[in-house]
Structure 1
Amino acid sequence: MSEYLPVIFSSLGIGICFCLNLMPIPSLLKANKTKDLTTISHLYLIVSAFNYMSWIVYSVKMQLIGNLINNSVCLCLDLSWVIFYHKIKGDLLIFVPLFLIFSGCIESAVYFLCPAFVMGVIALNFSICLYAAPIEQLKYVFKQKNHRYIDIYVIPALMLNALAWTCYGFAVNDWFIISPNFPGLTFSLFQIIAYFWARGNIKFPLFEWIYSKSGKEQLIEEQPAKIQPNQNVESV
């Protein structure tokens, strides 16, 4: 049975990874209607693109055809979401060409200047950053105690993806696979806990303490803006 575990976990990982790249669709469609992008992590989309680019460069260097195809498909999907995001934002023709030129120059320099081992380390670090990137949305969650800023489609998919590849890494005893995915599993679980805390389903003392600090600051900042219009009406 143990000899089948790597095949099982790798197959699960590939399937979940593909589904992961479809998860931003509901949030982007909603943002397209409301023109509100605050619930979407732009950092996640950008880091995701760099992550796939790095693995593509590494795969070309190491002639890993299967890994190259998988990451190329994922990159095409992710770039589609980046384009859609900036179409909604209204700066598509400014941001996207600059991003493609900038990222292309960086990845080309990595390919020609770095040995394969260094390229692998760079790709691993981008994988860790990919899991950590959605955490940027927590600043809104802790200020407003509102779960809508956590993309409940993306985060569970990230957690399942990290879990599958962590199990695969243990099955083949490969710490280069375990090293980015185990922290990713931790980051994703942390965000899921924050989601249910913000909904009021669970109590979490650490989050309550953070909210008591950031929430009070927000209340002080927003209060003048709410009082000022009333004062103007009374004066009239």
Structure 2
Amino acid sequence: MSDTQAAIFSALGIAFCFSLNLIPIKSLLRAKKTKDLKEISQLYLLVSAFNYASWLSYAIKMNQTGNWINNSICLILDLSWVIFYHVIKSDWKSFVPIFIILLGCIEVALFMLFPAYVIGFFAIACAISLYAAPIEQLGYVFKLKDHKYIDVLITSALIVTAGSWLLYGVAVKDWIIIGPNIAGIAFAIFQEIVYFWARGVIPCPIFTCLQNKMAKKPLITSEEKSEEIQKDLV
């Protein structure tokens, strides 16, 4: 593919990725009113920060202008949502500074000490983890058969965004970009299938069987897990 096609796919990827990172606003504003964070995957927000920071480092190393512009913007947005999440949770003063320092130290060390391909493999791991992170919410979906724990806007935006960056990766012949975006499309499609099953739009005997088994078990929230861990440490 030509440089023009690469530039077009890069521009589309930036636009879709920017749109993707605006989607959590609605859920965060709702959580601010209700003080209920169960509909928001904290894991998704944290892994997302590592994902964008790692791809930023890789893009700078590889001199991929469109890629580093995209990841710079998305990193700033994602860190804003992390801060907002922990403001709602009332622990931002103790959590956010440590998280940002840890993120910065890891990324600077990677950039200074390792070649581009090592940073690329780390970025791939972060990207696949990012696409898989919303699966954390599937426990609620299967337990309650409630689709609200899957944000279908995010999964749809992930498919479009990953598709754009997949085409960009093909255009620049970079398998480090191609690989995780194929995985991202697969994870997002799986979550959409679960979403429409939970809404009763499509049948799936496997999901129904899983839901029947999980309905017999008590639902443990993320907050309860955190409390248990803190008790064990004490």
TM-score by length of 2: 0.86
Q: Give the drift of 1:62.
A: 3.4
Task: State the alpha-carbon separation in 1 of the partners of residues 65 and 4 from structure 2.
Answer: 22
Task: State the alpha-carbon separation in 1 of the partners of residues 45 and 119 from structure 2.
Answer: 21
Task: State the alpha-carbon separation in 2 of the partners of residues 167 and 58 from structure 1.
Answer: 18
Instruction: Report the equivalent of 1:234.
Output: none
Change (3 A) 1:86 1:205: same
Change (3 A) 1:98 1:3: closer
Task: State the alpha-carbon separation in 2 of the partners of residues 12 and 63 from structure 1.
Answer: 19
Change (3 A) 1:173 1:113: closer
Give the SS at the match of 1:38. Answer: coil
Task: State the alpha-carbon separation in 2 of the partners of residues 52 and 18 from structure 1.
Answer: 12
Instruction: Report the equivalent of 2:92.
Output: 92
Instruction: Report the equivalent of 1:206.
Output: 206
Task: State the alpha-carbon separation in 2 of the partners of residues 172 and 60 from structure 1.
Answer: 15
- 2:14–2:66: 8 Å Cα contact kept in structure 1? no
Amino acid at match of 1:204: C
Amino acid at match of 2:78: D
Instruction: Report the equivalent of 2:134.
Output: 134
Instruction: Report the equivalent of 1:228.
Output: none
Amino acid at match of 1:186: A
Task: State the alpha-carbon separation in 2 of the partners of residues 132 and 11 from structure 1.
Answer: 25
Q: What pairs up with 1:35-184 in 2 under 5 angstroms?
A: 35-184=35-184
CA RMSD of aligned residues (A): 2.1
- Percent identity of the aligned residues? 57
- 1:24–1:153: 8 Å Cα contact kept in structure 2? no
Change (3 A) 1:63 1:6: closer
Amino acid at match of 2:12: L
Amino acid at match of 1:74: C
- 1:31–1:37: 8 Å Cα contact kept in structure 2? yes
Rg (Cα) greater in structure: 1
Residue-pair matches, total: 220
Task: State the alpha-carbon separation in 1 of the partners of residues 3 and 70 from structure 2.
Answer: 23
* Structure 2 gap ranges (5+): 221-234
Which is worse superposed, 101-110 or 38-47?
101-110
Q: Give the drift of 1:86.
A: 0.4
Task: State the alpha-carbon separation in 1 of the partners of residues 2 and 105 from structure 2.
Answer: 43
Instruction: Report the equivalent of 2:224.
Output: none
Q: Give the drift of 1:181.
A: 0.4
- 2:10–2:67: 8 Å Cα contact kept in structure 1? no
Q: Give the drift of 1:3.
A: 7.8
